[in-house]
Structure 1
Amino acid sequence: MLHRPTARRSRRATALVALTLTATALAPAAADAAKTPKRIVAFSPFIANTLATLNVKPVAVGSPIGGSYKLSSKLRGVPRLTLSHPKGANLEDLITLKPDLVLSSPNWRQGTKDIKARKITVIDGWDPQRLATVVPDVEKIAKRVGKVSAGAKLVKKIRADVKKAKKGITAHPRVLLVLGVGNSTSAFMPSTWGGDMIKQAGGELLTDGLKGQSLAGASGGFAPLSDEEVLARNPDVIIAVPHGAPSSIAQTTKNLANRAGWKNTTAARNGRVYVSDPDTLLQASVDPGAVIAKIRREYLKN
């Protein structure tokens, strides 16, 4: 009889410990769930498309002036937020969306301080500039929005597609990747998304000796390029990317396709001057394998 109360107290203590341990284990999960953002604004196409692939619908997607970027069909109907250099979104327009998280980009970093001053959480470092940071950035985004499992599946697909796209490279043509704005031209440096994609696809990027400068929000990513410089480097392939206001793109494209100063290059003589759409080489893609495959198939032919 003397042992029964002790046994009951022991059982109660055990149950209490179990409940405490369960509550402790659930606390971080509950806290994480509470922190999962509900109203996300995505400034870049990469971030917006990553969210769409993870089945997360942002309340708005950035629309840079002069941009013509491909967005997932899952983002159809999502409001567009106009972005302009150097700071990105108009603060008043952004505030009306009541975001609890803004996923920005290094291209719009000048505006980060102003957004934070309005007590809005903003992250501007998860928009990759090179292939090597695509997977880490996808993983960070997936974790932040509570989609770790879906993020892992996406990462697996990205790695497999890139490996397949790079298989069997047999030639390494010498390439100049050129940004055209009006009549001005600049070379994509290796630090840019487009420059890195050319290298990943097997091209030799002809930028040695060029000095990159900031352009369109990209720090040090582009180097001024004269026709004389293009002729001196004499690339096997020239890939030109038109950029600017929508009203000027058609004329810029025409100028690049028929640029007289390039006619004596090996590329022009062999009919290997190409004009790309800006979406493929100016902005990071959540499907880099498809980008590499397109460059190899349409431009490098390697």
Structure 2
Amino acid sequence: MRALRWTAATVTVLFGLTACGSADPTTPAAAPSSAPPSSMSMGGHPQAPGCPEPPQLSAPPQRVVTMDGGAAAILERLGVDDKIVGTAAPDFFKAFTGDEAAKLAKIKVIDPGQGNAEAVIAAKPDLVVGISSYSFGGFDGTPSVDQLAKAGAKSLVACDTAKGAAVKDLAATTTFITQVAKVFGVEQRGAEMVSQLTASIDKAKSSSGKRVLALSTPPAAGQPVMAQGGTGLANGVITVAGGKNIAEDAMQDFASLSAEEVVKRDPQAIVVISGFAPGSDEDLLNSIRRSPVLAGTTAVKENRFAVVPQSILLSPSVLNGDAVAKIAEALNK
């Protein structure tokens, strides 16, 4: 849930990270952020803002700002999107299709980026909802929970449910949906939504047990391979889909593995995370497929890839089940 939306510049910074503060190339790197230097801890690792408890409201909110399209989509599925007065990060809508995409496209965009504090507060919300704690003061320019409280707005944030352990399921998503439904007084709709998501996942998942490498950029020569670690939601999606993340033992959202270690762990499938780099998904897939670092892996030899948008893999989403299905399909090849 640490991954929300990064610009190309931020992605460059992210994947320029090696194992900060460690000489061991297999030591996991910290989660990235576009936060200012003041929010960085020792060693250059960014600090996630504290995740607030769900708000206790005397009545359902009437003016809601969503910090990202993922949160907006959850409200839309729950039937309370008429309360949304604006959203940030509308690029999350790209993963949706058909009537739902058309409906989401009608939501007012108050910031095409990560949610500028001034724009959010100017919308006069009584509740601000987001799928990442980084949206609440972690990304540069976004409002903190305290700022919003002073402006009269409560905050509802999807938080880490694994408490630093490896994520093995989608509890972060189902818990957040349940919390949102409770705040809006539509608990039954929330329960139905969770049941539908669970059913779609159960239908799609595999039992292959294949080893998986998940990354969003081709490895650079002489540099560590930046992959998804064990504490991010991606690890839960991969696990539920029937795979075994080769970097699960890295207790970070993002892991830094040496090229030698990747070859040693030999991924049998590669999940290509789209939505960060400019260019098409096909270009990204081809660049990763042609990487000399990965050439000797079983995944490349057997051409076993899945391209999954970051918006439905790294964060709670009503489309997390689609991410499970895409990965499970590749694992079953």
Fold similarity call, TM over 0.5: yes
Contiguous gaps of at least 5 residues in structure 2: 1-55, 138-143, 162-166
Contact 1:256–1:275 (CA under 8 A) maintained in structure 2: no
Secondary structure of the structure 2 residue equivalent to 1:197: helix
Tell me the amino acid that sits aligned with residue 59 of structure 1.
V
Secondary structure of the structure 1 residue equivalent to 2:107: coil
Relative contact order (alpha carbons < 8 A, sep ≥ 6): 1 or 2 greater? Answer: 2
Contiguous gaps of at least 5 residues in structure 1: 1-31, 213-219
Q: Which of the residues 67, 70, 73 maps onto 1:46?
A: 70
Alignment of 1:195-274 (within 5 A): 195-207=235-247, 209-210=249-250, 212=251, 220-244=252-276, 246=278, 252-274=284-306
Structure whose CA Rg is larger: 1
Secondary structure of the structure 2 residue equivalent to 1:177: strand
**2:38 paired residue number:** none
Whether 1:175 aligns to 2:175 is no
* Larger proportion of helix: 1
Contact 2:306–2:326 (CA under 8 A) maintained in structure 1: no
TM-score (norm 1): 0.72
Secondary structure of the structure 1 residue equivalent to 2:80: coil
Whether 1:277 aligns to 2:302 is no
Tell me the amino acid that sits aligned with residue 171 of structure 1.
S
Partners of 1:34 and 1:109 in 2: CA distance = 23
Give aligned-pair identity as a percent: 27
The RMSD of aligned alpha carbons is: 3.1
Partners of 2:85 and 2:64 in 1: CA distance = 6
Cα shift readout 1:233-286 (whole Å, capped 9, x = no counterpart): 211112221453546977655422321211111211112244433334233222
Cα shift readout 1:95-119 (whole Å, capped 9, x = no counterpart): 2211110012223243333323333
CA change 1:245–1:239 in 2 (3 A) is closer
Alignment of 1:20-31 (within 5 A): none
Contact 1:69–1:278 (CA under 8 A) maintained in structure 2: no
Q: Report the Cα offset of residue 204 of structure 1.
A: 1.4
Contact 1:188–1:195 (CA under 8 A) maintained in structure 2: yes
Cα shift readout 1:116-139 (whole Å, capped 9, x = no counterpart): 333321122358785023222212
TM-score (norm 2): 0.66
Contact 2:63–2:85 (CA under 8 A) maintained in structure 1: yes
Q: Which of the residues 142, 147, 154 maps onto 1:114?
A: 147
**2:177 paired residue number:** 138
Q: Report the Cα offset of residue 159 of structure 1.
A: 2.8
Whether 1:124 aligns to 2:146 is no
Partners of 2:247 and 2:231 in 1: CA distance = 11
